[in-house]
Chain A
Amino acid sequence: MSLDDTLTPAQRDNLRAIAGVIIPASAQFDVPGADEPAIQADIVATLGRDAGLVRQALDEFARLAGSPLASLNPERRDAVALELRAKGGAAVATLTRIVLQCYYRDDRVVRSLGLEPRPPYPKGHVLEEGDWTLLDPVRARPKLWRPA
């Protein structure tokens, strides 16, 4: 990780806060929130080329809040987050995408979706052959293509 990829402590706090708003923990589905430390570590470690836009979004989040996010009550924090989302733009979209892409590759989350936490290669997947008699009515059609 280069210095350009890093976040200040305040930005990390803000990242944790907004990630928890986007995806809170759920006892119903037995999954952590996106503010959980391992997911946060993944986000920070993989900012890479997106670090600048993410910092921009986090700073905007802090500006809208007007005070340290940790001091906000949950209702006010959620309202500020939704205000940020409504503003839109490349920075907010990038921040949201980074949170989602790291959350939905976390082993616990992937398992909760009924999927295996692994890359596609080398095991691959099984694809049903399907019922080829579905093609019978299509086979019976006259040719559609236009001679030239």
Chain B
Amino acid sequence: MIENLNKVFESRVRLGIMSILMVNEWVEFKALKGLLKVTDGNLASHLSALEKKELLLVHKEFVGKKPRTTYNATAEGRSLFKKHLSALEALINKEK
């Protein structure tokens, strides 16, 4: 079970990002920032790390003149995150 714990998610911010993307279709950068209460730079670096691993998709568009960036978890990202969660849960239960 322990081997399912994924190094990619070893950060509070990344765990947070994936949790939000699991239950929402497309989430804006601003919404993520508000929910996670982190700085732009910090959030952006974690997002791009997850994007590189192909765990999430980035979508950029213009609404009027303002750019809007939204994020969506990939199937791969969802399944890895689920495995990570079950592993975390199993670990806690074992230590009880």
A and B are interacting partners: no
B residues adjacent to A (C-beta < 8 A): none
